[in-house]
Structure 1
Amino acid sequence: MNKLYQTLTLPNGSVVKNRFFKSAMSVAFGTIDHRPTTKLITLYESWAEGGVGLSVTGNVMIDRRALGEPGNVVVEDERDLEMLAKWAKAGTKNNTALWMQINHPGKQAPKMVTKEPVAPSAIPLSGSLKKLFNPPRELNHLEIKDLITRFGKTAKIAKAAGFTGVQIHAAHGYLISQFLSPYHNKRNDDWGGSLQNRMRFVLEVYNEMRTQVGADFPIGIKLNSADFQRGGFTEEESMEVVQTLAESKIDLIEISGGNYEKPAMIGPEKESTKKREAYFLAYAEKVRKLIDTPLVVTGGFRTVSGMNEAIDSGSVDMVGIARPFALMPDLPNQIFKGTYEPVSLDRISTGVSWIDRNAPMLETSWYAHQLERIGRGLSPKQNLSAWSTLVHFFTQQGIHAFQKRRA
């Protein structure tokens, strides 16, 4: 337990009070016109008071024309600076670091919210996803430059509002991930082809952010270890990108993997993962031999011993936790007090097979329902029924309730 409560000094000198990292989770608490709400204030205040060291927000979008789901918060100017400041003030209580995760969905923008998605290349999503997403239009050079500027501007506004850092979302098949992948990026200009060209977009996004926020403001990134997709972004390429980012003095790298077509980040656990608890820990061990930049892996951590072992191994510097925070907002405090017990839940199910088959995101929505309860000032409810979640989300979003939700 002592290792989990050690401070962590980032490359820019910023200090995180402990090694608990609340990874981003989709909350979709924005208004109909994509502005922040009091639910966000209540939710992130709960996590700050619960003892987490670094809390990362759910996706904040850079462009109102490109949304990932209803309820996304969009920050493209200072119109909501006052509300953002209230969010930041609540989320940084108790000396908590609060980072805004900044993203663009690219072609992973459902047709219900984005009529004409954009992407590095005009390649539609495959398989059953075709019916949920419109085919994308290829970005031109000027549009790419505009998006880079938008990433930087959103980071600057986050700093002005009082967030203590930002995280670039370059994983899970969203726009930056699409640029990195040779499967999704078929361009033959300076933005495609070789890995050096394909990583140009993420490097320019990072450099633009650094220009707008300065050297002392933390910038992290969430990056795929691989896409797990034939012809996609490989582990070897990922390690080369990681080394380049480390040389650029990025402050923290969170490792993940997969995309909507190959969703490793929400798939079943391998037996080796269950034994070691953490997803992507083997990848982190390889990367640790290449760089000194602080690393975090998210997913799978359940026991205090598993968390301690990950830190003790030196492979990672923080333990990334997501869903358990939806059930125990004060998880770090519980561990500190010695009252923590891992939650073991059965598969979320209505008991009606055809409903479960046709609501593939039911489990994700069940956790989102828990987050909404916290955002309304209520306690999580571990025995919350799947039927309650069904009714809740159909009431809110109708037939779109269980389409792909962002991770």
Structure 2
Amino acid sequence: MRSASTMASETASGHLAIGTPFTLPNGVTVKNRLVKAAMAEPYFTKDSLPHDQYNTNYATWAHGGWGMVITGNWYVDSKGCGGPGGVLLDNPSVPREVQVAKIAAFARAAAGVDGQTKVLVQLCHAGRQGIVGSGTRGLCEPGMAPSAVPQSVGSDIISRGLARLFFGGAPREMTHADIDAVVDKFASAAKLVADAGCHGVELHGAHGYLISQFLSAEANRRTDEYGGSALARARFAVRVVQAVRAVVPADFVVGIKLNSVDYQTDIIRKGGDGAEDEVEDAAKVDRERQLQGCIEQFAAIAAAGVDFVEVSGGSMADPQMSVGPPKSERTKAREAFFLSFAETFRASFPDVPLMVTGGFRSRSGMEEAVAGGGTDLVGIGRAAVVSPALPRDVVLNPDVPDPEARVDVPKYLPPWYLNWGPRLVGLGYENVIYGSMITKLGVESGGK
């Protein structure tokens, strides 16, 4: 491992690994290793398409020197939206030529004046995690999911009540016709953004959304070809990747985001206070089995043709990526599993580009991760909101010494009275704060 003094001299000479280009398997080259990752990005428009403010926000990131930017959720199904607002690609009330034109304007802005920032759209279907009344889903209409297993945000009575209120109770188990239709919607959405000039898509297979639900043994109780074994649970994700690949150009990037939490035992995810010994035992006994299931699933997904995988963590039921609780033993077990998850990917699939997201705050940490072979791309979320020009002005700026090449990301804790409620409330509180900050990026400076 290189010393800090070596890293400092390399910074001055411009030879940082994080500043070097990276070529994906399909031949697309990203100008550096720093990626503005997808976040909860609240935008409200009548036609559910990118608008001037949205484009200005992304132009700000492009001007900040990011090698690649990935949008927040763009929904592929009007009945599979995660909540109000956001971009909806399944909107028959808007002519396709209008959709292409508006997305093309976004793509040009997000690529920057020089056109060198790669622009990826995160495609998502919320499944059982969709909020009732979102998109074209009725207030009394159940969501759809692999199995009729309700979304959970906690086991106490308040959490159960909120889950029923927001998500509508038990979802409807998807039929084969439903599965075929949703696969087609992912493909249609990818074709739309490709025709509009975006460089690629990231399929959201994490954080409790539909692809993640199919991968998860907790959410997927099916006994047909889409459930049962870990490999069978990956069939839906494989079909989505294949369907997207079939309709986009060869130089169109197809990535996927996966979630370490879905490969952990229920006791690691949900164990309560005082269960530390039990959690530790469960982690030791089950980690190898869970990681093996992960390997089997991703082997199939990789074979379908992905250009990179983003390793993430957290879900609506366990949002540690957003609202970090005090580090109990079970929290430490989760974090250890997350590290094992990323390391297992790297060791098992050395030829598949890896993007790790979460916790990067300093040049030295980012450089160590890339130069040490731990990851190929560094995903940065809220730090990109606090410092939109982080690559240009700080991390890749040779005039900034290593000790100063970092960004502090404030935690916005909910008021004390909200701490008595489910953690979902805390997650929503901080998302609202950062969402408000996102919508103001570049507004005063015109994206400069």
TM-score normalised by the shorter chain: which range applies? 0.7 to 0.9
Name 1:315's counterpart in structure 2.
374
Letter in 2 for 1:130: R
Instruction: Identify the match of residue 238 of structure 1 among 294, 314, 319.
Output: 294
Listed as ranges, the matches of 1:98-247 within 5 Å are: 98-113=119-134, 114=137, 115=139, 116-126=142-152, 127=154, 128=159, 129-135=163-169, 136-227=171-262, 228-230=264-266, 234-247=290-303
Q: Tell me, in whole angstroms, the C-alpha distance in 1 between the residues paired with 2:101 and 2:107.
A: 10
Q: Tell me, in whole angstroms, the C-alpha distance in 2 between the residues paired with 1:219 and 1:347.
A: 32
Which 10-residue stretch deviates more, 131-140 or 144-153? 131-140
Name 2:431's counterpart in structure 1.
364
**Matched position secondary structure for 2:81:** coil
Q: Tell me, in whole angstroms, the C-alpha distance in 2 between the residues paired with 1:322 and 1:278.
A: 21
Instruction: Give the share of equivalent positions with the same residue, in percent.
Output: 37
**Matched position secondary structure for 2:43:** coil
Task: Provide the alpha-carbon RMSD of the alignment.
Answer: 2.7
Count matched residues.
377
Matched, 1:330 2:351: no
- Structure 1: gaps (5+ residues): 381-407
Name 2:8's counterpart in structure 1.
none
Contact 1:172 1:259 (8 Å CA) reproduced: yes
Listed as ranges, the matches of 1:4-403 within 5 Å are: 4-76=18-90, 78=96, 79-93=98-112, 94=114, 95-113=116-134, 114=137, 115=139, 116-126=142-152, 127=154, 128=159, 129-135=163-169, 136-227=171-262, 228-230=264-266, 234-268=290-324, 280-291=338-349, 292-334=351-393, 335-337=395-397, 338-339=399-400, 341-344=405-408, 347-349=411-413, 352-355=415-418, 359-360=425-426, 361-374=428-441, 376-377=443-444
Label 1:356 to 1:30 Cα distance change in 2 as closer, same or farther (>3 A): same
Which 10-residue stretch deviates more, 357-366 or 45-54? 357-366
Label 1:111 to 1:289 Cα distance change in 2 as closer, same or farther (>3 A): same
Q: Tell me, in whole angstroms, the C-alpha distance in 1 between the residues paired with 2:328 and 2:360.
A: 14
Structure 1 position 353, deviation (Å): 1.9
**Matched position secondary structure for 1:58:** strand
Which structure shows the bigger proportion of residues in helix conformation? 2
Q: Tell me, in whole angstroms, the C-alpha distance in 2 between the residues paired with 1:84 and 1:3.
A: 32
- Structure 2: gaps (5+ residues): 1-10, 270-288
**Matched position secondary structure for 1:253:** strand
Letter in 2 for 1:69: G
Q: Tell me, in whole angstroms, the C-alpha distance in 2 between the residues paired with 1:279 and 1:268.
A: 16
Name 2:280's counterpart in structure 1.
none
Name 1:404's counterpart in structure 2.
none
* Per-residue Cα deviation, 1:190-228 (whole angstroms, up to 9, x for no partner): 211122221110000000000000332110000112324
Q: Tell me, in whole angstroms, the C-alpha distance in 2 between the residues paired with 1:271 and 1:13.
A: 44
Contact 1:278 1:298 (8 Å CA) reproduced: no
Structure 1 position 39, deviation (Å): 1.7
Q: Tell me, in whole angstroms, the C-alpha distance in 2 between the residues paired with 1:65 and 1:249.
A: 28
Q: Tell me, in whole angstroms, the C-alpha distance in 2 between the residues paired with 1:258 and 1:347.
A: 17
Q: Tell me, in whole angstroms, the C-alpha distance in 1 between the residues paired with 2:117 and 2:406.
A: 23
Q: Tell me, in whole angstroms, the C-alpha distance in 1 between the residues paired with 2:409 and 2:343.
A: 30
